[in-house]
Amino acid sequence: MDPDLLVGDIGGTNGRFGLVDPDGLRPRRVLVEEGAAHASFAAALAAYLDKTGARPRRAALAVAGPVGEDGRARVTNRPSWEMDPRDLKRRFGFDDVLVINDFVAQAASLPHLDPSETVPIGAASPRGDVKAAVGPGTGLGVAALIPDGGGWRPLASEGGHVDFAPLDAVEAAAFEIIRRKTGRVSAEHVVSGPGLARLHDALAEAEGLSLPGIAPGEIAAAAAAGEPQALATARLFLTMLARFAGDVALTFGARGGVHLCGGVTPNLMPVLDPEAFRAAFEAKSPHEAMMRGIATVVVTSPVAGLVGAAAVATRARG
């Protein structure tokens, strides 16, 4: 069967592409094009199509950045990558191009993931109610999924850019160091891949230590190996992620569960303490009882964004 739909999950680090048959949502022939290897999004897409030889009629692209009313989007953390549906139709011969926020796609994927693609944190189970997707990666994505008749409707947001506040003296000292460099401290400044590295550097500086800049993946690996500074950073990061996820649950009324997407959280699973995570998530006085019933789930599927893009495209066609 010839593929009907090209799907893309386009982030600040790379673009992941796949092909979806007319009667399904699961992608095949999934390949990753590194952002640094291509000057533009069109060049990355052309490389994928050349490698696969595919010529799908439609495209659904999930982009890590806001989407304008005209359907155009630019990757927030890779601004040279711009998606204009009209230009993409002309260049690649698509009949239709749908551009959506990447976390709209993450949220839209949630009802279609296999249980093997998720890991629960705590005893609460997801329900068929409003769900939220929260994802630290190159940035910090936030979206909701709302029951709508017999289906689901995703709701985009730029919630990762809200202000984020420290809760104790250790956090306050680190945040002040970060604020001097960023101008303000948003949730994304600390609860993201770059935020993990930023937090590691700030905690070290606050303690008078001189540590070289360490990449997020190296921090995760060092934390899993028990290196004290990396472990302290990872634990604080996970506490902040739990607090932010709780805030998102309150904001959307996400009684159906908060799903943690993106690449950072799975890498920190070896040092994640479920009881500590849930304690930070639930500490939302006066709503602790409600929070105890809201599930927290880590999404481990590398193709969730592609599944969600296909789901949104299918819904758009009616």
pLDDT digits (tens, 9 = 90+) for 48-100: 999 999 999 999 999 988 899 899 998 988 989 999 999 999 999 999 999 99
- DSSP H helices in the chain: 41-52, 85-92, 102-109, 169-182, 187-190, 193-206, 216-224, 228-252, 264-268, 274-282, 288-292, 304-317
Domains parsed from the chain with CATH numbers: 5-102+303-317 (3.30.420.40), 114-300 (3.40.367.20)
Backbone angles phi, psi at 113, to 5 degrees: -85, 145
pLDDT in tens, 249-289: 999 999 999 999 988 999 999 999 999 999 999 999 999 99
Q: Record the tokens describing residue 106, joined without a space.
A: 């993450």
CA dihedral 29, 68, 298, 112 (to 10 degrees): -60
Q: Record the tokens describing residue 81, joined without a space.
A: 């990558």
Dmax over CA atoms of the chain, in Å, equals 62
Parallel, antiparallel, or unpaired: how do β-strands 14-20 and 28-34 relate?
A: antiparallel
Closest alpha carbon to 154 in 314, 312, 290, 313: 312
pLDDT in tens, 181-210: 999 999 999 999 999 999 999 999 999 987
Mean of the per-residue pLDDT values of the chain: 94
pTM confidence score: 0.90
